[in-house]
């Protein structure tokens, strides 16, 4: 639906309060008893794709906002924090990251960040597998600074289920140096991305000493026991598994956790293997070598539960 009138538009996530319209992210399963709200200036688009409910609105403070199944995926104001950390931590932790695979990431923010390494001559091949082409099309229209490379010839985009794509690699020799899993939360088509079998598929798709990173859907303040179980699952497959945090206000509690893993036990994932060229550092709004290292630092109580 286009050209939506905010006064007559109805959606389970939108309420009128004091004459203003607010989007409220509520997820009783993941974070019961709390919600995150943004004031709406204008509804830009709403549709149901084959896979999910897609809502895009212009907020009063965070620019355009992409929402899938009632959960915020990104806003124009702070998306760079997540996109940069999930992309550059694994690439900068690898000594020779030539082939990159992105699972999910339909808003194309990760692709934008990977292209920086293509332009620096480090990355040679980029593939993105996204199940919902509607997310790509709408991001290109309403989030153009994120999806600026959705038609770039340097990027191979495959419209397919990421889980099924990884299963197809079991009979192929095609392997990747870094795999970035930028999935939505573990419900609907993304549910399989948080299970032990998925980690096995990731390992099969990696070159020797390859690195994988994934968003954990949770942070230490919301559901740390879920995080612990997810790390246990990852450690059934990978020998070197670390948890790190990204700070950004759009996610409930202001954080989102990431899990990075490899079978190279000599690789200290919390320390970048290379330095960014001095003339390229201005391209990075969030990531630098100090942030890379600091993102792995946890408060005592969380460190004790997750890392010990």
According to DSSP, the β-strands at 255-262 and 240-247 are antiparallel
Q: Is 161 a catalytic site residue?
A: no
Which among 79, 75, 81 is positioned nearest to 41, based on CA atoms? Answer: 75
Catalytic residue among 132, 161, 177, 182: 182
Cβ neighbours, 10 Å, residue 288: 17
Phi then psi dihedrals of residue 113, to 5 deg:
-75, -40
* Distance separating alpha carbons of residues 132 and 208, to the nearest angstrom: 30
As beta bridge partners, residue 39 has 22
DSSP state of 281: G
Query: β-strands 53-59, 35-48: how paired?
Result: antiparallel
> Can you state the angle between helices 224-235 and 196-205, rounded to 10 degrees?
50
- The answer to whether residues 51 and 132 touch, using CB atoms and an 8 Å cutoff, is yes
CB 55 within 8 A of CB 45: yes
- Count of Cβ atoms closer than 10 Å to residue 119 Cβ: 12
Q: How far is CA 260 from CA 15, 59, 149, 180, in A?
A: 38, 32, 25, 9
Question: Please, are residues 57 and 23 in contact by the beta-carbon 8 Å criterion?
Answer: yes
* Residues acting as catalytic residues: 182
């Amino acid at each position: 639906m286009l050209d939506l009138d905010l006064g007559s538009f109805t959606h389970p996530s939108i309420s009128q309060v004091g004459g203003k319209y607010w989007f409220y992210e509520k997820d009783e399963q993941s974070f019961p008893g709390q919600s995150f709200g943004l004031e709406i200036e204008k509804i830009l688009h709403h549709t149901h794709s084959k896979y999910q409910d897609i809502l895009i609105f212009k907020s009063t403070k965070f620019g355009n906002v992409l929402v899938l199944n009632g959960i915020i995926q990104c806003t124009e104001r702070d998306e760079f924090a997540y996109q940069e950390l999930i992309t550059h931590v694994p690439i900068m932790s690898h000594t020779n990251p030539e082939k990159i695979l992105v699972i999910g990431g339909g808003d194309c923010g990760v692709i934008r960040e990977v292209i920086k390494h293509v332009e620096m001559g480090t990355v040679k091949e980029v593939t993105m597998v996204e199940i919902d082409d509607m997310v790509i099309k709408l991001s290109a229209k309403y989030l153009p600074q994120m999806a600026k490379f959705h038609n770039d010839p340097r990027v191979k985009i495959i419209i397919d289920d990421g889980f099924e794509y990884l299963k197809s690699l079991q009979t192929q020799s095609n392997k990747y140096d870094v795999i970035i899993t930028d999935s939505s939360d573990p419900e609907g088509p993304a549910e399989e991305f948080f299970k032990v079998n998925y980690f096995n598929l990731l390992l099969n798709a990696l070159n020797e000493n390859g690195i994988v990173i994934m968003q954990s859907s949770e942070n230490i303040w919301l559901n740390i026991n879920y995080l612990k179980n997810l790390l246990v699952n990852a450690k059934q497959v990978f020998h070197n598994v670390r948890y790190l945090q990204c700070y950004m206000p759009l996610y409930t509690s202001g954080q989102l956790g990431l899990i990075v893993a490899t079978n190279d036990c000599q690789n200290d994932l919390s320390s970048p293997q290379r330095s960014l060229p001095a003339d390229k550092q201005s391209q990075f709004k969030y990531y630098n070598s100090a942030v890379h290292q600091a993102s792995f630092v946890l408060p005592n109580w969380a460190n004790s539960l997750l890392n010990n």
